[in-house]
Amino acid sequence: MPEGDVLRRTAARLDQALAGQRLVRSDLRWPTAATVDLRGRTVLGTRPYGKHLLTRFDDGTTLHTHLRMDGYWRVAPSGEPRAAGRSPYVRAVLADARWTALGHHIGMLDVVRTRDERTLVGHLGPDVLDEDFDGTPGVPVGGLPVHDLPTPGIEEALRRWAAQGDRPVGELLLDQRVVAGIGTIFMAESLFVERWWPFTPADAIDDPARILRTARELMRRSVVTGRPVEAVHGRDRRPCVRCGTPVRRDEVGVPPMQRPVFWCPRCQARGRAVQARAVPGT
């Protein structure tokens, strides 16, 4: 499932293949971009932001892609059969003389002027993995400038958090307008580490910065070493790795945007640190 960690690894792989290279092939299989030809343009690099990818070119153009739930990019040597991109699920093909990048199941695709990237990602909160999020180690993005992207830093994320009132913390962490990059896996894993009930009102959390830093560190490790086995996500009715209590699966969010959340009824009890308000139906 693509979250901020996957986008960082994807951007790094695209940079290895295409950064600094002149495109010899371009095929954007998207209704609003089908006539755009990127051949002859040099790739400056791909800038991940939250769950978005911004591939920038030397003529001031940006290709924006979003993987949604199922999308992914793969790289193959140019000239090999798999680089042809014949699958009906391939939505974008970018190739230089050596490598071909194929975007499968892409969920969003736009071509805009680089100076207009804010129209696509300006509504997002700070990227939890950016180097300037706080003083802890981040994940480099190949030196591409962050110009005109959302205000960075944990202070901005906390300001946006404070504006959410009593919204359930699990739902808040999934809101990319508060902080960008966290999805259902790292939402659940972060709350499990910090022992917070996912339905705890956000304004009852005594140290929200700690939760954000925990999510950042879990995701940073995933970028460096690969996704670990989840401690709680996806473990419905299986024993908690800490206490043995069967893990519970619920949903957070408002229909039709609700998402699954996994939590331990003992380790993440409702009264942890505060008297959390009851949630109807739980």
Q: Catalytic: which of 2, 150, 168, 208?
A: 2
User: In this structure, are strands 259-263 and 52-57 parallel, antiparallel, or unpaired?
Assistant: unpaired
Token pair 């600094």 is found at: 20
Q: Phi, psi (5° rounding) for residue 73?
A: -110, 140
Residue 2 known to be catalytic: yes
Residue 131 known to be catalytic: no
Residue 51 known to be catalytic: yes
Rounded to whole angstroms, how far apart are CA atoms 158 and 196? 17
Q: Catalytic: which of 8, 41, 51, 235?
A: 51
Residue type, 224: V
Q: Catalytic: which of 3, 171, 189, 194?
A: 3
Residue 171 known to be catalytic: no
Q: Is residue 280 within 8 Å of 168, Cβ to Cβ?
A: no
Strand partners, 135: none
Rounded to whole angstroms, how far apart are CA atoms 51 and 35? 26
Closest CA to 220 of 130, 159, 92: 130
Rounded to whole angstroms, how far apart are CA atoms 87 and 84? 9
Q: Catalytic: which of 74, 118, 259, 266?
A: 259
Q: Exposure of 229 by Cβ count < 10 A (0-12 exposed, 13-18 middle, 19+ buried)?
A: exposed
Closest CA to 103 of 117, 114, 89: 89
Return the active site residues. 2-3, 51, 259
